[in-house]
């Protein structure tokens, strides 16, 4: 039997899953905006900035991120 909060949490999870893929799919347009920079340079920045962002996220929400992962 499904209760309302359950349906809402399902919908939230499904929206997250769709959003993750939508963002990735549309991210081509983002890189296109940065076409003035060489792709290899962009790659270099993506690595370094991702590391910085991940460190920040894991530092701030370390526990909650782990919680989401179960």
Partner 1 sequence: MRARLNQRNVLIHGSAAVLVVLNWGTFIWASINGHVAESGLGYLIAPFIAIGTGAFILGDRMSVLRRCLLFIIALCVLVLILRSAELDHWVYLTIGLTWGSYACLKKLTSLDAFDGLFCETVVLSALLPVLLMLLPSLTMQLPPALPGISLALLALCGFISVMPLWLFAKAASALPLSVMGIFQFVLPTTQLIVALWFYHQPISANTILCFSAIWLALLLIVGEPFLHRFLFCAKGQIVKRFDVVVVGLGIMGAASLWQLAHPGLRVLGIEAGGPTHAKGSSHGGTRIFRRAYWEGEAYLPLLNLAHTGWERLQSSSDKRLLVPAGGVFIGPRASDIVAGSLRTARTGNIAHESWDAAELGRRLPQFSASHDMQAVFEPGAYAIAAEDARLHMLSEAVDRQAQLCFGSSVQALHSSNGGICLDLSSGQQIQADAVIVTAGPWIANALLPELRAYLTPKRVPIYWFAPRKGCEYAFTADNFPVFLYECKDGSLLYGIPSGASQEAGVKIGFHNRQQLPSDPDSAAPAIDATLIRQISSYVSAILPDLSPQPSRGKWCFYTMSGDESFLLGESQRHAGVYYASACSGHGFKFATGIGALLSSMAQKQALQIDITPFHPSRFGR
Chain residues binding partner 1 by CB under 8 A are 1-3, 6, 9-10, 12-14, 16-55, 57-58, 65-70
Question: How far apart are CB 15 and partner 1 at their closest, in Å?
Answer: 8
Nearest to 45 by CA among 25, 55, 29, 31: 31
CB of 24 to partner 1, least distance (A): 5
65 CB-near residues (< 8 Å, 6+ apart): 57, 58
Q: How far is the CB of 64 from partner 1 (least distance, A)?
A: 10
């Amino acid at each position: 039997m499904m209760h309302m909060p359950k349906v809402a949490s399902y919908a939230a999870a499904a929206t997250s899953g769709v959003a993750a893929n939508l963002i990735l799919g549309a991210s081509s347009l983002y890189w296109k905006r940065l076409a003035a920079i060489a792709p290899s340079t962009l790659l270099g920045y993506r690595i370094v900035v991702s590391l910085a962002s991940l460190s920040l996220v894991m530092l701030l929400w370390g526990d909650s991120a782990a919680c989401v992962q179960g």
